[in-house]
């Protein structure tokens, strides 16, 4: 069985990670792995820190999509990849990488997955997590202050100057490409349960195919 690539998209703070975690825990580590688009921000070692601080993380140009696409293709071909890691405090890619082995279900999570046509074409299932903007900004403030050492003023300024405009230009329009839209982030248990049921059916069909082949 070739790995099934499931794209989980939505605005920053929408609850993508909650949905992704729920699916991962239900499916199990033996059969499922996670690739996050955030890991594929471009290496900026050639820039001084002052310039790296100005990075617009919500624009498609910030991502090394060529590398991400090559890794998705490799995983689909049942080949392992070395996923990069990113340090948001240094605004740069880390030296370390994470070895990702191909598994039956690969969850690909990111804000701009559906706005990149080549990535979109590689997805077997497309899920969009749709959450109100006021909830998303509150979640982003909490995450950036706790996990990335940001001040409230810097988070608000970034939201108004880059996050919101990029969401309206790139993320929101890409919702039309979704197979499934999950309202209210990861708290919509009915939607998440339906997704998990579909994944169970895919895995069962794969198991039956192998049995019939034998």
Question: Does residue 212 fall inside a structural domain?
Answer: no
Question: Does residue 180 fall inside a structural domain?
Answer: yes
Question: Does residue 113 fall inside a structural domain?
Answer: yes
Question: Does residue 21 fall inside a structural domain?
Answer: yes
CATH number at residue 90: 3.40.50.300
pLDDT > 90: what percent of the chain?
68
Q: What confidence tier does 98 reach under pLDDT thresholds 50, 70, 90?
A: very high
The answer to the question of whether 174 is labelled as a binding residue is no
Structural domain of 76 = 4-206
The answer to the question of whether 104 is labelled as a binding residue is no
Question: Does residue 174 fall inside a structural domain?
Answer: yes
The answer to the question of whether 13 is labelled as a binding residue is yes
Rounded to two decimals, what is the model's pTM? Answer: 0.88
The answer to the question of whether 7 is labelled as a binding residue is no
The answer to the question of whether 28 is labelled as a binding residue is no
Average pLDDT of 3-25? 93
Answer yes or no: is pLDDT of 1 > 80: no
The answer to the question of whether 115 is labelled as a binding residue is no
What pLDDT digit, counting tens, does each position of 155-167 carry?
888 888 888 999 9
Specify the number of domains making up the chain.
1
What pLDDT digit, counting tens, does each position of 165-175 carry?
999 999 999 99
Question: Does residue 121 fall inside a structural domain?
Answer: yes
Question: Does residue 116 fall inside a structural domain?
Answer: yes
Q: What DSSP letter does each residue of the chain carry, written as one string?
A: -PPEEEEEEE-TTSSHHHHHHHHHHHH-TTTEEEEEGGGGBPP-TTS-HHHHTT--TTSGGGB-HHHHHHHHHHHHTT--EEEEEEETTTTEEEEEEEEE---SEEEEEESSGGGSHHHHHH-SEEEEEE--HHHHHHHHHHHHHHHS---HHHHHHHIIIIIHHHIIIIIGGGGGG-SEEEETGGG-HHHHHHHHHHHHHHHHHHHHHHHHH-
Question: Does residue 214 fall inside a structural domain?
Answer: no
The answer to the question of whether 12 is labelled as a binding residue is yes
């Amino acid at each position: 069985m070739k790995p099934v690539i499931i794209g989980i998209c939505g605005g920053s703070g929408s609850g993508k990670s909650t949905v992704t975690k729920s699916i991962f825990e239900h499916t199990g580590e033996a059969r499922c792995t996670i690739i996050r688009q955030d890991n594929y921000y471009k290496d900026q070692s050639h820039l001084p820190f002052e310039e790296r601080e100005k990075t617009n993380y919500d624009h498609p140009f910030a991502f090394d999509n060529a590398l991400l696409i090559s890794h998705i293709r490799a995983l689909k071909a049942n080949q392992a990849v070395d996923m990069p890691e990113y340090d948001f405090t240094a605004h740069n890619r880390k030296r370390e990488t994470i070895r990702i082995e191909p598994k039956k279900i690969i969850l690909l999570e990111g804000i701009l997955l559906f706005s990149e046509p080549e990535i979109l074409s590689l997805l077997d299932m497309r899920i969009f997590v749709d959450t109100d903007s006021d909830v998303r900004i509150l979640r982003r403030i909490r995450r950036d202050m706790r996990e990335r050492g940001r001040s409230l003023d810097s988070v608000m300024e970034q939201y108004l100057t880059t996050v919101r405009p990029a969401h309206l230009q790139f993320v929101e329009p890409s919702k039309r490409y979704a197979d499934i839209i999950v309202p209210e982030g990861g708290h919509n248990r009915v939607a998440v349960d339906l997704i998990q049921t579909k994944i169970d059916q895919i895995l069962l069909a794969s198991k039956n195919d192998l049995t019939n082949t034998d």
